[in-house]
Chain A
Amino acid sequence: MSKKIDNTSLPSDEVIIKALAAYDSKMFEKLSQAWYSTMYYVAASIVGEAIADEVIQESWLSVIRSLSQFQRRSSLKSWVMRIVANEAKTRLRKESRMISMDQYDNWHGEDRFDQSGHWLDQQSAWHSDAPDDILQAEELNNCIQKHLALLPESQRVALTLRESKSHSLEQICNILEVSSSNVRVLMHRARDRILQVIQRFEREGKC
């Protein structure tokens, strides 16, 4: 069973900020725990898993130091995730690495359509409309992990930043240094690929 950390158990941003400013250790512990997973995947999508935890640590340092500058234009969580992405990118630059843009992309979603853009085969239905029902199968969780790792790097970064609810498409353009039409293609291909993974699992019960 996948374990979910429920964000609804956290108090409002207002309360969190006050508590952190007063160096409330309990609040820090709760928050760092609740957001760990998302921070980890945001960092890992950019710098890789090996140093994701280091980036998280540096990010918390930045968060604590710059908390008084938080403008409340977004949620605190989005702001923290953007700090993580920026720390990860800084780290990448320090190591003279870049987010790879020209990786071979074997996406072949176009094969499903005829020349006029109609489906060749009917799209089949899934057994449930509830994400939790679909994620019940531990094997599918592992399967998603495997296929996220197989995505071209730029697609993985775009998908992770977007689904962590921290970055707008425009902000992702800035991180990846691509045009807005480019980022739309990346988003669609990444989501489509994961959709197809779930589709195959629903149909054939295998990854």
Chain B
Amino acid sequence: MLGIPSCKQVTELSSLQLDESLPRLQRVALRVHLMMCQSCRRYVKQMELTSDIVQRWLTRREMPEAVKQRLLAQWREQRPQDPS
């Protein structure tokens, strides 16, 4: 169908629309496709979830004590000396 993306193109758009807003016509065409296609509705939702999951995953590492001590030592060096 003219202008309506294929499922394969929808998977590509599902990533892009997380990064930039799509042109209006493309947004409408995407919505029309999604109305007709359950697999793509699922995929688009899962793409958003995947992005959220990676964002959360990126915050899970804990700072090792040695790193913390080094950073604090460096911070103290940067700090102007108290006049006392």
A7 to B55, CA, bound (A): 12
A206 to B72, CA, bound (A): 41
Contacts of A139 in B (CB 8 A): none
Q: A33-B68, A122-B39 are in contact. Are A135 and B53 (CB under 8 A)?
A: yes
Contacts of A41 in B (CB 8 A): 58, 61
Say yes or no: A160 contacts B42, CB within 8 Å: no
Query: Which B1-47 residues have C-beta < 8 A from chain A?
Result: 6-9, 11-12, 15-16, 18-20, 38-40, 42-43, 45-47
Contacts of B49 in A (CB 8 A): 126, 129, 131, 134, 198
Query: Which A22-41 residues have C-beta < 8 A from chain B?
Result: 23, 25, 28-29, 32-33, 36-38, 40-41
Contact of A123 among B40, B71, B76 (CB under 8 A): B40
Q: A113-B8, A119-B7, A125-B42 are in contact. Are A60 and B75 (CB under 8 A)?
A: yes
Say yes or no: B63 contacts A131, CB within 8 Å: no
Say yes or no: A131 contacts B56, CB within 8 Å: yes
- A61 interface contact, C-beta 8 A: yes
Which residue on A lies nearest to B57, using beta carbons?
A144
Contacts of A91 in B (CB 8 A): none
Q: How far is the CB of A168 from chain B (nearest CB, A)?
A: 8
A165 to B58, CA, bound (A): 11
Contacts of A194 in B (CB 8 A): 50, 53-54
Q: Which positions in B face A, CB cutoff 8 Å?
A: 6-9, 11-12, 15-16, 18-20, 38-40, 42-43, 45-47, 49-64, 67-68, 70-72, 74-76, 78-80
